[in-house]
Amino acid sequence: MTDHDFLRRAIDYAVENVRTARGGPFGAVIVRDGVILAAGSNVVTASLDPTAHAEIMAIRAACLRAKSFNLSGCTMYSSCEPCPMCLGAIYWARIDRLVYASTRDDAAAAGFDDSLIYEQIPLAPGSRSLRTENFLREEGARAFTAWRESLGKVPY
Amino acid sequence: MTDHDFLRRAIDYAVENVRTARGGPFGAVIVRDGVILAAGSNVVTASLDPTAHAEIMAIRAACLRAKSFNLSGCTMYSSCEPCPMCLGAIYWARIDRLVYASTRDDAAAAGFDDSLIYEQIPLAPGSRSLRTENFLREEGARAFTAWRESLGKVPY
């Protein structure tokens, strides 16, 4: 299968997801060594989970399949340009390559506008539309001290 | 309970999470009308899920509890400043307010550096360290056409 085949598969999942009324028009597949490791579609409404975007669902499934939280060596094919949340997840999962079909402008024209979030993330915390406060910084250090002293930790 | 009490509770979850070796030193609680709706801690390694950050786990649990994918009216208390993935999730969940203790600099000093991701997200897709390609834009439109024509869709 070629890049185009895998990307068409992601688009097929998006279309199928709408036809079965499971969620929004988004699908994704994750490929390693020319084989589909896992697929995902948007199930925000069906699962009452605002984080259940297609890319996140595909990452979770691929990690379970690969028995690893590290997907280096993988390509993510998404029917649409990922939102900032999903882009962050792609980086955390160490995915090497991203291929997408529709753009964020196409998504916005269809009523799925993540441009606000793209604008907000680079801002200083106090300048965002999300009201944000920072307290107890010294007490927060308790968690990092526990981590530094932990013998049983699994670094990641 | 005050803001400080709720934030200390999030820090307690972070410390407890390290002590029980479930995952990284991060905890979060979500509060509505002065009551804790749900809590979460980082279980990336235990659940083999790179998206299982404390804030994401708390959002998933709070949405199940509230039977809604919309957490407007809620405050997120996090032991540490959220990464871009979690910040995106906070916006998608429509959370109104964010309070955190440790900063992203404190996290980086403890070995949890999300500054790369903060730098990458605002870049144009072709300028990121994540190799990114955009193909088949016209075919991607099939998914949005299906959505527009769908009678059974649940808008979100």
Is B50's CB within 8 Å of A93's CB? yes
> Residue B136: left (phi > 0), alpha (psi -120 to 50), or beta?
left
Would you call A119 a catalytic residue per the annotation?
no
Measured between alpha carbons, how far is residue B79 from residues A85, A136, A153, B126 in Å? 19, 9, 18, 34
Q: What does the alpha-carbon distance between residue B33 and residue B26 come to, in Å, rounded to a whole number?
A: 24
Q: What does the alpha-carbon distance between residue A54 and residue A79 come to, in Å, rounded to a whole number?
A: 9
- pLDDT, position B30: 98
Judge whether A143 and B80 are in contact, CB under 8 Å. yes
Enter the pTM of the model.
Answer: 0.96
Judge whether B64 and A48 are in contact, CB under 8 Å. yes
Nearest beta carbon to residue B11 from set A27, A114, A142: A142
Q: Which of A40-54, A87-101, B48-62, B140-154 has the lowest mean pLDDT?
A: B140-154
User: Which chain A residues are Cβ-neighbours of B94 within 8 angstroms?
Assistant: 50
> What is the interface pTM, i.e. ipTM, of the complex?
0.96
Is B140's CB within 8 Å of A101's CB? yes
Written as six digits, the tokens of B86 are: 């979690």
Q: What does the alpha-carbon distance between residue B38 and residue A63 come to, in Å, rounded to a whole number?
A: 25
φ/ψ (deg, to 5) at B25? -80, 60
- Contact map slice: A 103-142 vs B, CB within 8 A: 103, 106-107, 109-111, 114, 116-118, 120-122, 125, 130-137, 139-142
DSSP track, A99-134: EEEE-HHHHHHTT---HHHHHHTTS-GGGSSSEEEE
Is B81's CB within 8 Å of A125's CB? yes
Nearest beta carbon to residue B87 from set A26, A44, A121: A121
Q: Encode chain B (156 residues) as per-residue pLDDT tens digits.
A: 999 999 999 999 999 999 999 999 999 999 999 999 999 999 999 999 999 999 999 999 999 999 999 999 999 999 999 999 999 999 999 999 999 999 999 999 999 989 999 999 999 999 999 999 999 999 999 999 999 999 888 888
Q: Searching chain A, which residue's CA lies closest to the CA of residue B92?
A: A50
